[in-house]
């Protein structure tokens, strides 16, 4: 598949590895925090630049969630998530009922469709439980 273009640097390798190993989309900040464990001096800018470069190369997909923050995941993984509005945790949604809908919409509207986003939000069981404990 698409390989990271340009020079091979430790930072680049590390950032890509974090994305590959993650089970959910990560913000630049989250990638930065994880990467920092290995690097004493790593700039958040570098994380942004590499993630955007990966996205341009088609290795990674970037999407903006309903909280306005961009998240990155491997492009090979096409997934949808449900995000807790409180703790911000995401769980994967196995369904993706869009491949057929996509063709239909393209035919109806004349758009050439390059992507879609879908996200559910709500309150996860843990946060719900916490509420109930605080009340009762």
Partner DNA sequence: CTTCCTGCAAAGAGTTTGCATCAAA
Partner DNA sequence: TTTGATGCAAACTCTTTGCAGGAAG
Rounded CA-CA distance 61/74 in Å is 6
Residue 134 makes CB contacts below 8 A (sequence gap 6+) with: none
136 binds a second copy (CB under 8 A): no
Rounded CA-CA distance 128/96 in Å is 26
Q: Which is nearer to a second copy, 68 or 136 (CB)?
A: 68
The mark string for 34-63 relative to a second copy (x by CB under 8 A, - otherwise) is -----------------------------x
Question: Contact with DNA (CB under 7 A): which of 33, 70, 77, 121?
Answer: 70
Q: Which is nearer to DNA, 86 or 102 (CB)?
A: 86
List the interface residues with DNA, window 4-33 (CB under 7 A): 5-12, 27-29
Rounded CA-CA distance 21/134 in Å is 36
């Amino acid at each position: 598949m698409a390989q990271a273009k340009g020079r091979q640097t430790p930072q680049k390798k590390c950032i890509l590895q974090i994305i590959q190993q993650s089970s959910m989309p990560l913000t630049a900040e989250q990638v930065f925090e994880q990467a920092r464990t290995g690097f004493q001096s790593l700039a958040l800018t570098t994380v942004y630049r590499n993630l955007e470069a990966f996205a341009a190369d088609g290795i990674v997909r970037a999407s903006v969630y309903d909280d306005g923050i961009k998240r990155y995941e491997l492009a090979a993984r096409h997934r949808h998530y449900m995000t807790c509005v409180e703790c911000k945790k995401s769980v994967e949604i196995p369904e993706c009922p869009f491949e057929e809908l996509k063709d239909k919409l393209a035919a109806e509207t004349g758009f050439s469709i390059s992507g879609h986003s879908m996200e559910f939000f709500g309150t996860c069981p843990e946060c719900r439980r916490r509420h109930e404990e605080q009340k009762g």
